[in-house]
Amino acid sequence: MSIDDHFPHLARDADLRRAVRNLCKKYDVAYWDQQDADQEFPEDFFRDFADSGFLGTLIPEEYGGGGGSTSDMVAILEEVGASGGGLNACSTIHTPLLCAPTILEFGTEKQRAEWLPKIAAGNLYTTFGVTEPDAGTDTTRIAMKAVDDGNSWRITGTKVWNTGALRGDKVLLLARTSEPGPTERRGLGITLFLADLHAESVEIRPIPKIGRNAVASCEVFFEGTKVAYEDVIGEVGQGFYHLMHSLNSERLFVAAETIGLGRWALAAATQYSLDRVVFGRQIGKNQGVQHPLAKSYLDLLAAAEVLYRAVDEYDIKGGAAIGALANAAKYLCSEAAVSSTDAAMQVFGGYSFAREYHIGRQWIESRLPRVAPVNNQMILNFIAERTLGLPKSY
Ligand SMILES: Cc1cc2nc3c(=O)[nH]c(=O)nc-3n(C[C@H](O)[C@H](O)[C@H](O)COP(=O)(O)OP(=O)(O)OC[C@H]3O[C@@H](n4cnc5c(N)ncnc54)[C@H](O)[C@@H]3O)c2cc1C
């Protein structure tokens, strides 16, 4: 029996999970430690993942994908997170998929036919360019402007934290094309573009980060960058609302990745508590060591149950409850991952600081989903307002 046998949700999509685990076995913790230390994009993992068909899971078969469900993708990302690859591995594959739902839903048939098969095959690496230096949580404050010069759009402005830009081919950019009227919503007048990251007018500078370093996150400067009319996605002026459409599935993906991360930390710490002898006995014999691990298990168990409830709501019912459930799942899973990696750090004692034990890398990574792609305070705001009926606070 392993700890995994005590997570009932792992019986879902069992064959798929097994296949992902088999692929991930080739890329062990030492591999991810090296990629992270060298700040090297994991090309071989990414290629393997794409060639195995996992990357295109959610893209319909007619566009070269696997035609799978959200449940499939969530299971895949959870297993990648649990493999020891953590968020380095998850972000590698999650990033190019971020724009696929938007293209699928709002793109033209020509755009879908041109881009989705390439994304599914791993031949077009797309990134997500929303955040700016002065517009993080409040996306509608973006300063990036797109101007129609009569032949095409010209984009000027700066994106920050653009994950994968160094490796990327194209970026899904959110830019303002008009100002909303005084009584209109601030989300109006924002448009989505698929812009070329290789253009001469684009400068990319990686941000030195404290973790998840196999995938660079970058400042990206656009100076009058040309984007063809045919590379606008959806309706001009409606981009912010188009993007909102894909947020629930993204929350579920992040939730799954963090459950995976937490499972890895719990298993590693439990094993270490059996191996490590202090005062002549295993440290795992102490209740002070056992209880935080038991609590991690319970936190992950409860969070995973909410996640898969949300997945079913999304896939089967597609119902009105999905907003609250997807937010709840993202909050509970990411918080469970933070507490599980933190408890694991204590179990590893001084060795938690040795790279050799890998827990420190996962501990740092576990902090990231608390703030990105949406911070957990905004989720509490959502629950306070939409579930509890309290006044909007921002
Ligand atoms: C490693 C990494 C990778 C990323 N990758 C991408 C990417 O690929 N593409 C992209 O577009 N962005 C990316 N991001 C950006 C990320 O989405 C933003 O950092 C996030 O949206 C928060 O924005 P901010 O950092 O400007 O925080 P701010 O908006 O400055 O907020 C700071 C803190 O204030 C609090 N806060 C703010 N408003 C409220 C409120 N109303 N109520 C309560 N609390 C509040 C929250 O605790 C929040 O964490 C990435 C970030 C990181 C760190």
Q: Render pLDDT for 245-291 as a digit per residue (tens, 0 to 9).
A: 888 899 999 999 999 999 999 999 999 999 999 999 999 999 999 99
Confirm or reject: Cβ of 161 under 6 Å from ligand 1: yes
Domain membership of residue 343 (yes or no) is: yes
Q: What is the mean pLDDT of residues 357-369?
A: 98
How many Å lie between the centroid of ligand 1 and the Cα of residue 372? 6
Rounded CA-CA distance 239/192 in Å is 5
Nearest CA to ligand 1 atom 30: 136
Q: Is the pLDDT reported for residue 298 higher than 90?
A: yes
How many Å lie between the centroid of ligand 1 and the Cα of residue 53? 32
Ligand 1 atom showing the smallest separation from residue 370 Cα: 49
> Which is it for strands 277-278 and 281-282: parallel, antiparallel or unpaired?
antiparallel
Q: At residue 85, what are phi and psi to the nearest 5 degrees? A: -75, -20
Coil vs helix vs strand at 181: coil
Residues 6+ apart with CB under 8 A from 5: none
Full-model pTM = 0.97
Domain membership of residue 248 (yes or no) is: yes
Q: What is the mean pLDDT of residues 301-316?
A: 95
Q: Is the pLDDT reported for residue 317 higher than 90?
A: no
Q: What tokens appear for 294 in the block?
A: 């038991």
Residues 32 and 147 both lie in one domain: no
Q: Is the pLDDT reported for residue 156 higher than 90?
A: yes
Residues 302 and 230 both lie in one domain: no
> Which is it for strands 145-148 and 126-129: parallel, antiparallel or unpaired?
unpaired
Confirm or reject: Cβ of 201 under 6 Å from ligand 1: no
How many Å lie between the centroid of ligand 1 and the Cα of residue 382? 16
Confirm or reject: Cβ of 331 under 6 Å from ligand 1: no
Q: Is the pLDDT reported for residue 320 higher than 80?
A: no
pLDDT for position 335: 98
How does residue 316 score in pLDDT terms, banded at 50, 70 and 90? confident
Domain membership of residue 21 (yes or no) is: yes
pLDDT > 90 fraction of the chain, expressed in percent and rounded? 96
Confirm or reject: Cβ of 70 under 6 Å from ligand 1: no
Confirm or reject: Cβ of 384 under 6 Å from ligand 1: no
pLDDT for position 307: 98
Confirm or reject: Cβ of 136 under 6 Å from ligand 1: yes
Give the domain extent around 21.
3-106
pLDDT for position 1: 81
pLDDT for position 294: 98
How does residue 180 score in pLDDT terms, banded at 50, 70 and 90? very high
CATH number at residue 73: 1.10.540.10
Ligand 1 atom showing the smallest separation from residue 137 Cα: 29
Q: Which of 235, 260, 275 is the last residue of a domain?
A: 235
How many Å lie between the centroid of ligand 1 and the Cα of residue 52? 33
Confirm or reject: Cβ of 206 under 6 Å from ligand 1: no
Residues 375 and 258 both lie in one domain: yes
Confirm or reject: Cβ of 168 under 6 Å from ligand 1: no
Q: What tokens appear for 244 in the block?
A: 């909102």
Q: What is the mean pLDDT of residues 88-100?
A: 96
Q: At residue 50, what are phi and psi to the nearest 5 degrees? A: -70, -45
Nearest CA to ligand 1 atom 25: 136
pLDDT for position 2: 94
Residues 252 and 221 both lie in one domain: no
pLDDT > 70 fraction of the chain, expressed in percent and rounded? 99
Residues 259 and 363 both lie in one domain: yes
How many Å lie between the centroid of ligand 1 and the Cα of residue 254? 15
How many Å lie between the centroid of ligand 1 and the Cα of residue 161? 9
Ligand 1 atom showing the smallest separation from residue 217 Cα: 3
Domain membership of residue 121 (yes or no) is: no
| Nearest by Cα to 203 from 231, 175, 162, 239 | 162
Say how many domains are in the chain: 3
Angle at 296 between CA 291 and CA 299, to 5 degrees: 125
Q: What confidence tens digit (pLDDT) does each residue in 23-45 have?
A: 999 999 999 999 999 999 999 99
Nearest CA to ligand 1 atom 48: 375
Q: What is the mean pLDDT of residues 65-79?
A: 97
Confirm or reject: Cβ of 372 under 6 Å from ligand 1: yes
CATH number at residue 189: 2.40.110.10
Residues 170 and 267 both lie in one domain: no
Q: Which of 75, 106, 137 is the last residue of a domain?
A: 106
Q: What is the mean pLDDT of residues 196-219?
A: 98
